[in-house]
Amino acid sequence: MTILQAAYPYLDTHTAGHPTRAILGGVPPLNGQTVLEQRQDFERRFDHLRGTLLHEPRGHAAMVGLIPVPSQVADFGAIFISSYVYLGMCGHGTIGLARTLAFTGAISPATGDRFTLETPAGVVEVRLDWTDQGELGSVSLKNVPAYMGLPALEVDVPGLGKITTDILYSGMWYAMVPADPLGLALEPDNVSACLALGWRIKQAIAKATEGLPVLRGLPAPSVMFHSDRGPAHSRQMLVLAPNKYDRSPCGTGTCARMAQLLIRGDLNEAETYRAENILGVPFTATLAGTAEVEGRTGYEIVVRGQAHLSAQGTIYVEKGDPLEGGFLGR
């Protein structure tokens, strides 16, 4: 007789290719008045579950998890978990959550065309495009304000030399790195080369920025490679780890990139920015307004994309499984 130790029902979606695994049960109630406090409680008591829920043999290195939690200030709350760090905000995951809520019936044309979501980084506004048949089409989210943290930071990368990068915040920290001057093609067949170089750059940036108060103790900036494809149009690839990149154009990273373009004067406030991933699937971004963030100008950017269902099931942990906590190959 099979003895199950735990069961976690889930729904998988992908947003422009990147997965979001919504965990719909099995996680004990979390303590805390805010979503951030609930995430901190998860970190303290249940961090071991990240490997079980996301990693092999039940997932893979690129899986992003979403755990719905109660919110006292928004319609919904969610914490985002990944292989190595906890995410303050996740754009592709928020779009995936909207698709999950539509599939489960928590939202519908009858509930309206918008909802609010409390994340650890703050409350974001989500708007929904319903088709005439009542299906969810594209999803738009107004992110927390994006702003410049460290302009024109010079970093010495071993084996590459000195590069200059802007470091911006948009729920997480991102380092903007042009791909073309490095001779780096942002194409599916070149992913391994992008990962190898992006990880070296990320490590160098982490060393150069370690302990800086402006980063507020958050994870080191990930590397956003970008390559211009035309006016207000770029291809993007976000390197997160030596074995992990964002398959989508990255929602929060797109906010950071658009903020950089606005700050540098390479984009005017009325333009729509088109960011595509290495597969050519786009997000679009527009400016909704500005807000002051700790004495800086923050840009309230709306990102639009679409998520699709990919799987539904239950993660089982059988008693005696030697790989209960999952594993990753780096």
* pLDDT tens digits along 117-151: 999 999 999 999 999 999 999 999 999 999 999 99
Average pLDDT over residues 62-68: 97
Per the annotation, the verdict on 250 as an active-site residue is: yes
| CATH superfamily name and code, 4-142+309-318 | Diaminopimelate Epimerase; Chain A, domain 1 (3.10.310.10)
The answer, yes or no, to whether residue 1 has pLDDT greater than 80, is: no
The answer, yes or no, to whether residue 55 has pLDDT greater than 70, is: yes
Task: Check whether the bond before 120 is cis (ω within 30° of 0).
Answer: no
Quote the CA–CA distance of 225 and 239 in Å, as a whole number: 8
Share of the chain above pLDDT 90, in %: 95
Least confident of 42-46, 213-217, 253-257: 213-217
Per the annotation, the verdict on 194 as an active-site residue is: no
Question: Choosing from 11, 22, 49, 90, which is the catalytic residue?
Answer: 90
* pLDDT tens digits along 182-236: 999 999 999 999 999 999 999 999 999 999 999 988 999 999 999 999 889 999 9
| Contact status, residue 194 vs residue 244, Cβ threshold 8 Å | no
Question: Choosing from 250, 259, 261, 302, which is the catalytic residue?
Answer: 250
Mean of all residue pLDDT scores within the chain: 96
CA distances from 240 to 82, 128, 194, 310, 321 (A): 10, 29, 11, 23, 30
The answer, yes or no, to whether residue 17 has pLDDT greater than 90, is: yes
Q: In terms of Cα–Cα distance, which of 273, 251, 237 is closest to 94?
A: 251
- Please provide the DSSP assignment of 89-157 as one string: --HHHHHHHHHHHHHHTSS-GGG-SEEEEEETTEEEEEEEEE-TTS-EEEEEEEPSPBEEEEEEEEEEE
Domain 147-305 class in CATH: alpha beta
Task: Kindly list the domain boundaries of the chain, sorted by start residue.
Answer: 4-142+309-318, 147-305
Radius of gyration of the chain (CA): 19
